Amino acid sequence: MSNQDKDMDGTTYPASGPGSGPGWRPGSDAWLEALLRADAAAQPHIADDGFADRLMRRLPAPRKPAPRWIVPTATALGSAAALLLTPAGAWFAHSLQALFDFRSFSPAHLIVLVPVAMFYAMSFSALRDR
């Protein structure tokens, strides 16, 4: 293809111009910014008699994000409810107790660490994503 490159999904990208050159790949911010600027320069300006400005002034202010502690707290509350209200919770409590009781220790009791590790991993990844 001489004028354009084709992506695996069939999307075409210019082989020369604002979206080409080293570091200018689809998905990078620089490529997208250059492509949008080139498209905006090619399009004629549409007069809207101040509509866009009035609309932007009437938009509500951005909401304050939820506190960071809410996701781990909700996860802990849901886990506690599952522990107390389900038969699996009784197994979990018994296995956790047996894990710390060295007289009745069995490698099979280590399976209880899987949900504990998943709880911590999900909580910390939710915090990191914010």
What is the domain range of residue 51? 4-58
In-domain check, residue 65: no
Q: Are residues 84 and 42 in the same domain?
A: no
Going residue by residue through the chain (130 aa), what tens digit of pLDDT does each one get?
Answer: 444 555 555 555 555 555 455 555 555 678 788 888 888 888 877 788 889 889 999 999 888 888 888 888 888 898 888 878 888 888 777 777 777 777 777 777 777 778 778 877 887 787 776 5
- What's the confidence (pLDDT) of residue 33? 84
Q: Are residues 41 and 76 in the same domain?
A: no
- What's the confidence (pLDDT) of residue 12? 57
Q: Are residues 77 and 124 in the same domain?
A: yes
Which residues does 3 contact at the CB level (< 8 Å), separation at least 6? Answer: 14, 15, 16
DSSP assignment of 15-67, as one string? SSSTT-STT--TTSHHHHHHHHHHHHHHSPP---TTHHHHHHHHSPPPPPPPP
Q: Are residues 9 and 52 in the same domain?
A: yes
Q: How many CB atoms lie within 10 A of CB 19?
A: 21
Query: Alpha carbon of 85 to those of 46, 55, 65, 77, 91: distances in Å?
Result: 62, 51, 32, 12, 12
- What's the confidence (pLDDT) of residue 7? 52
Q: Are residues 120 and 80 in the same domain?
A: yes
Q: Are residues 15 and 50 in the same domain?
A: yes
Q: Are 111 and 95 in contact (CB under 8 A)?
A: yes
Angle between the 87-100 and 70-85 helix axes, to the nearest 10 degrees? 100
Per the structure, how many domains does the chain have?
A: 2
